[in-house]
Structure 1
Amino acid sequence: MIYTGNATEDAPAERGWLLGHFQPDGDVRHSADVEIKWGVHTKGERRAEWVVGERRTALLLLVSGRFRLEFRDRDVVLAEQGDYVVWGVGEDHSWEAEEESVVMTVRWPSVPGYAVR
């Protein structure tokens, strides 16, 4: 199976998520192992509420802009293209786009029952 697309065009259908358990069974983008998101954020955009009790590991990679990840004990600013942060299970977090930003998030495993956010 092969799927071709454009992240900017495909992402809005699942609130940015391109790959994961939420894609239809039989679609090559369906996965129980990993989720991938293409996030396009306007300057000043913030996550509406903190993620608490996270059950997955995640990596967030800056494609463009300036993006702040907030954790309970520290903030991490991604300022240069290619900067990234990885966090593990149980790390409460939130975020803010300090400039217009594009980020790619990879998290694993893909857990059914979590809302696509």
Structure 2
Amino acid sequence: MTTDKVIFGNAEDEGANRWGWFLGHFITPVADPRSTEALEVKWGVHKAGDSRTQWAINNQAATISILINGQFRLQFEDREIVLSRPGDYVLWRAGIPHTWVAESDCTVLTIRWPSKPGDSIGISSK
């Protein structure tokens, strides 16, 4: 059981075994302050060309992705959004299909809320 009132670490290291996700319902033990159903946080470090080509959707969670560096493209049903300046972001509500591609080496901070098991799913078409 973690009883520390303040914890620290490295988002990239801690998320390495979970595709960058380092805070959310999936952290064990549940007494760890990083284990929460309130939100999920991902530190995504991507090489140019990395992509998620299968459409994905979150049934309950809203999502915001914020560019730290590089260039990152997100595809939605009705538009593409290119994050190209540090601080550029895109926010979408639950139920919105999306895919993405890293157009250059980049880092993207992504936050979803709430954090629910099985909420993010791949779908066969948009």
TM-score, length basis structure 1: 0.92
- Greater strand proportion: 2
**Deviation readout 1:66-87 (Å, 9 max, x if unpaired):** 0001001000000000000000
What is the count of residue pairs matched by the alignment? Answer: 117
| Consecutive aligned runs of 4 or more in structure 1 exceeding 6 Å deviation | none
* CA-based RMSD: 1.8
Counterpart Cα distance in 2 of 1:53 and 1:35: 12
Unmatched 5+ residue regions in structure 2?
Answer: none
**Residue number among 67, 92, 97 corresponding to 1:92 in the alignment:** 97
Percent identity reads 41
- 1:35, distance to aligned residue in structure 2 (A): 0.3
- Computing the radius of gyration over CA atoms, which structure comes out larger, 1 or 2? 2
Equivalent positions of 1:70-85 (< 5 A) are 70-85=75-90
Equivalent positions of 1:1-80 (< 5 A) are 1-24=5-28, 25-52=30-57, 54-80=59-85
Alpha-carbon spacing, 1:18–1:53, altered in 2? closer, same or farther (3 Å)? closer
**Residue number among 102, 112, 115 corresponding to 2:117 in the alignment:** 112
TM-score, length basis structure 2: 0.86
Counterpart Cα distance in 2 of 1:60 and 1:109: 15
Q: Secondary structure at the match of 1:49?
A: strand
Unmatched 5+ residue regions in structure 1?
Answer: none
Counterpart Cα distance in 2 of 1:17 and 1:116: 15
